[in-house]
């Protein structure tokens, strides 16, 4: 692609692929190609200008409210058509350097073998994400806890609190999206993550512990981090992971060979979650009585 989004050449194949430049959906508006950036559309044939004004134009006084990426799509991204953000690569590389430094710090410590292996897996995970067709961006301003937030069917933001331990946790969820252990679903024009199970959080917290054990101090070792411990995590009076299904879910086993939904498995999962939700309510009530 040219920086403005127009293709240098087009495919001669017959398979339709609507998601193109920066993984945004390409469609036609009155005969002109437009890219869907969620909040607004761009017109690549017009120098990749937005069709409508920036809803946050007052934040960028020196820039036209119709300009895409401040006129510099090489160094800036605009994942939703609402905010200009600098490329996440600098932040990504800073965290990668911190992980490499931590591995070097742990070398020679016979008790740190599992942590080193965990961090080496994180570096492998990061390489997978770098090569993925899914577009990832970083937001290090999340308060206390982070989260993986889908911004389209092929892009997501890793929200984390600025610490590398929290970054490591969220990268595990990022690669789960790459491998199909998590998927992005669209509902009423909004995007959400699907197929969460308890093992997804076990993996993420083990990676976090590998980098900094004190960031997950309820565990004394990596082996301590299992589904029972994760279900017991309390946050703001809630047990956020309590109802996650025990069975491993991914886009392979949730579908039949013909591509249809495995309704039997779906019903079993829904029944398990329903029971866990009932138990969760009772557990929260019990905790509130004990803490009075």
Q: What is the pLDDT of residues 127-149, one digit of tens each?
A: 999 888 888 889 988 876 789 99
> Do both 229 and 96 map to the same domain?
yes
5 inside domain: no
> Do both 239 and 105 map to the same domain?
yes
Average pLDDT, the chain: 84
CA distances from 125 to 140, 245, 274 (A): 19, 24, 33
> Do both 105 and 192 map to the same domain?
yes
Rounded to an integer, the average pLDDT of 169-198 is 93
Domain, as residue range, for 121: 89-290
138 inside domain: yes
Report how far residue 6's alpha carbon sits from residue 237's, in angstroms, rounded to the nearest whole number.
50
Gyration radius from the chain CA atoms = 22
> Do both 48 and 149 map to the same domain?
no
CB atoms within 10 A of CB 285: 10
Q: How many CA atoms lie within 13 A of 83 on its CB side?
A: 9
The predicted pLDDT at position 258 comes to 83
The token duo for 1 is 């692609």
Question: What DSSP assignment string belongs to 186-197?
Answer: EETTEEEEE---
- pLDDT, tens digit, 9 for 90 and up, residues 19-47: 666 667 777 777 778 877 766 777 777 76
Where does a domain end: 69, 86, 103? 86
The predicted pLDDT at position 58 comes to 63
User: H helices within the chain, ranges in order?
Assistant: 89-106, 113-131, 164-179, 198-211, 227-231, 263-290
Query: pLDDT-based confidence at 241, cuts 50/70/90?
Result: very high
Rounded to two decimals, the pTM is 0.69
Report how far residue 65's alpha carbon sits from residue 42's, in angstroms, rounded to the nearest whole number.
12
CB contact at 8 A, 25 and 135: no
Maximum separation of any 2 CA atoms in the chain, in Å: 69
- pLDDT, tens digit, 9 for 90 and up, residues 199-234: 999 999 999 999 999 999 999 999 999 999 999 999
14 compared with 261, residue with greater pLDDT: 261
The predicted pLDDT at position 90 comes to 84
222 inside domain: yes
pLDDT of 1 higher than 70: no
* β 135-139/155-159 pair status: parallel
> Do both 105 and 60 map to the same domain?
no
The predicted pLDDT at position 288 comes to 65
Where does a domain end: 38, 65, 86? 86
The predicted pLDDT at position 224 comes to 96
Query: pLDDT-based confidence at 191, cuts 50/70/90?
Result: very high
Report how far residue 269's alpha carbon sits from residue 277's, in angstroms, rounded to the nearest whole number.
12
């Amino acid at each position: 692609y040219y920086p403005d989004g127009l293709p240098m050449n087009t495919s001669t194949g017959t398979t339709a692929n609507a998601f193109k430049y920066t993984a945004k959906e390409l469609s036609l508006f009155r005969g002109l190609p437009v890219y869907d950036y969620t909040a607004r559309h761009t017109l690549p044939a017009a120098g990749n200008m937005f069709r409508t004004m920036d809803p946050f134009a007052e934040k960028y006084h020196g820039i036209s409210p119709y300009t895409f990426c401040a006129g510099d799509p090489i160094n800036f991204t605009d994942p939703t058509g609402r905010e200009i953000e600098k490329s996440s690569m600098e932040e990504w590389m800073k965290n990668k350097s911190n992980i490499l430094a931590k591995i070097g710090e742990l070398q020679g410590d016979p008790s740190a073998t599992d942590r080193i292996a965990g961090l080496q897996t994180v570096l492998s995970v990061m390489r997978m994400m770098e090569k993925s067709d899914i577009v990832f961006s970083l937001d290090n301003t999340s308060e206390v806890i982070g989260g993986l937030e889908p911004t389209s069917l092929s892009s997501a933001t890793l929200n984390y609190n600025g610490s590398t331990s929290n970054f490591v946790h969220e990268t595990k969820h990022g690669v789960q999206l790459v491998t199909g252990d998590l998927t992005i679903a669209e509902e009423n024009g909004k995007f959400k993550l699907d197929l969460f199970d308890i093992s997804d959080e076990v993996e993420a917290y083990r990676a976090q512990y590998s980098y900094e054990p004190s960031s997950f101090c309820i565990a004394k070792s990596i082996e301590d981090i299992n589904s029972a411990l994760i279900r017991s995590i309390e946050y703001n009076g809630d047990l956020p992971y309590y109802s996650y299904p025990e069975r491993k879910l991914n886009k392979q086993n949730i579908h039949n060979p013909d591509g249809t939904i495995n309704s039997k498995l779906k019903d079993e999962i829904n029944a398990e979650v329903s029971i866990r939700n009932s138990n969760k309510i009772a557990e929260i009530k019990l905790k509130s009585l004990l803490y009075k």
